[in-house]
Amino acid sequence: MTETKCLIIGGGPAGYTAAIYMARAAVSAILLEGIQPGGQLTTTTTIENFPGFPAGVDGTQLVSDMRQQVINVGGDVRQGSVTSIDLSSRPFVATLDSGEQIAAATVIVATGARAKYLGLADEQKYAGLGVSACATCDGFFYRRKTVAVVGGGDTACEEAHYLSQLASKVYMIVRKDYLRASAAMRERVEQTPNIEILYNCNTEGLYGDGGVEGAHLVRRRGEPGEERFDLPIDGFFLAIGHQPATDFLAGQVELDQAGYIVTAPHSTATSVPGVFAAGDVANPDYRQAIAAAGDGCRAALDAQKFLSRE
Ligand code: NDP
């Protein structure tokens, strides 16, 4: 069994920052990157609100540079997902998808949050065949095609705008009669000629032979004037919010109703001494790379204090 002073779970801004602080403090730590190294930043385009980049920075480049920085300061970055973890006694023991086990004196959970789906059977049926929750990852395949983005928040607007530069037409499927997104984002999509917003619409299913060819929509569901219609599209992008990646912690660490890790006020400490949480997995309010990176720093310092007290 591999042993470490600190197991950092998650390869996003929170995890990478925690790993940089651990390496620079000469505390042995292993950072585990899951199946999507870089996390949500790899699904965004230019980031203009991360200080230090006056001209903006590409999201994928930013996390790839963070990862390289971990390695440059002597950090140990490994691939693998934690399938289960025993936090009932110390050292904590994590079991990875490879079957390997890691015993850790402390754990920093920085697993982030993942995209939500509507829960339609067709989303699974057409997974990888026209259904996606990541415009930056998959937009390339829809050049000069027609796509739809579900959602009316900032993510949906950002994804729709990104796709509008590749696809010939982008529909936004919005269940209310307004966009929840910030004014700047709203304006951006409203002023983009090839984005059309379909208000008061819900998706009931998808259709197509071998791949998505369209969506079954309903306008004003359950209201007078309810109307069902089909929207021919080649790609269906989900942008309806996120779910924290905490399934593997259920029953061991205190989670809130939505599944986010509960931390002590002004601390990254969780309900289990020696286990800390950083980034979106514990913080549904901010969801910003800079906030996650800040949390990663705090978690590393909290873990270091914990270890030095032992
Ligand atoms: P939000 O929760 O803000 O928005 C989710 C959207 O999806 C809403 O329009 C919601 O509709 C809709 N929705 C949810 N469930 C369903 C469903 N079952 N069917 C149809 N529509 C559904 O999530 P976001 O991911 O957009 O944003 C999360 C946070 O991150 C926000 O605070 C946002 O401001 C921030 N953010 C900031 C960015 C930036 O500043 N550049 C970029 C991206 C995100 P309804 O309104 O009806 O609930």
What is the reported pLDDT for 178?
98
> Catalytic one among 97, 137, 230, 256?
137
Would you state the structure tokens that stand for residue 48, as one six-digit string? 């203009």
246 lies in the same domain as 152:
no
Q: How many structural domains are present in the chain?
A: 2
Distance 29 CA to ligand 1 centre (A): 35
Reduced to 3 states, what is the DSSP secondary structure of residue 158? Answer: helix
Residues flanking ligand 1, CB < 6 Å: 118, 150-156, 158, 175-176, 180, 240-242, 287
- Whether residue 134 lies in the annotated active site: yes
Mutate to test the pocket of ligand 1, among 62, 287, 288, 290 (most ligand atoms within 8 A of CB): 287
Q: Which ranges constitute the DSSP H helices of 98-227?
A: 121-125, 135-138, 154-164, 183-190
Catalytic residue among 76, 134, 154, 297: 134
Pairing outcome for strands 195-198 and 169-173? parallel
Q: What CATH number corresponds to the domain at position 12?
A: 3.50.50.60
Per residue in 37-51, pLDDT tens? 777 777 566 778 899
**Are 93 and 47 part of one and the same domain?**
yes
Same domain (yes/no): 283, 231: no
CA distances to 189, 259, 277, 291, 304 from 268, rounded to whole Å, are: 37, 16, 5, 13, 12
Site to substitute for ligand 1 among 120, 150, 175, most atoms within 8 A of C-beta: 175
pLDDT in tens, 294-307: 999 999 999 999 99
Beta strand pairing status for 101-109 and 275-277? parallel
Residues of the chain falling short of pLDDT 50: none
Both 222 and 138 in a single domain? yes
Domain boundary among 180, 212, 238: 238
Same domain, 24 and 52: yes
Q: What spacing in Å lies between the alpha carbon of 180 and ligand 1's midpoint?
A: 7
Is 157 in the active site?
A: no
170 and 232 fall within a common domain? yes
Q: 206 and 141, same structural domain?
A: yes
- Is 6 among the catalytic positions? no
Output the CA–CA distances (angstroms, integers) from residue 204 to 41, 150, 277, 308, in the order listed: 30, 12, 37, 55
Residues 125 and 233 in one domain: yes
Going by alpha carbons, the residue nearest to atom 43 of ligand 1 is 155
The residue among 238, 257, 276 that closes a domain is 238
Q: What is the DSSP letter of 111?
A: -
Report CA Rg, the chain: 21
Domain span at 29: 2-115+242-309
Residue 5 CA, ligand 1 centroid: distance in Å? 38
User: Is the domain of 104 the same as that of 197?
Assistant: no
Number of the ligand 1 atom closest to the C-alpha atom of 240: 7
DSSP letter string over 33-90?
E-SSTTGGGGG--EE-SSTT-TT-EEHHHHHHHHHHHHHHTT-EEEE--EEEEE-SSS
Which residue type, as a one-letter code, is found at position 43? T
Domain identity same for 216 and 271? no
Q: Which of 150, 161, 180 to mutate to test the pocket of ligand 1 (most atoms within 8 A of CB)?
A: 180
- Cα separation, 156 vs 241, in Å, equals 9
Closest to 21 in 3D by CA, of 295, 243, 309: 295
- Where does a domain end: 238, 271, 293? 238
Same domain as 253, residue 110: yes
Instruction: Answer for the pair 163, 147: CB distance below 8 angstroms, yes or no.
Output: yes
Does 269 lie in the same domain as 160?
A: no
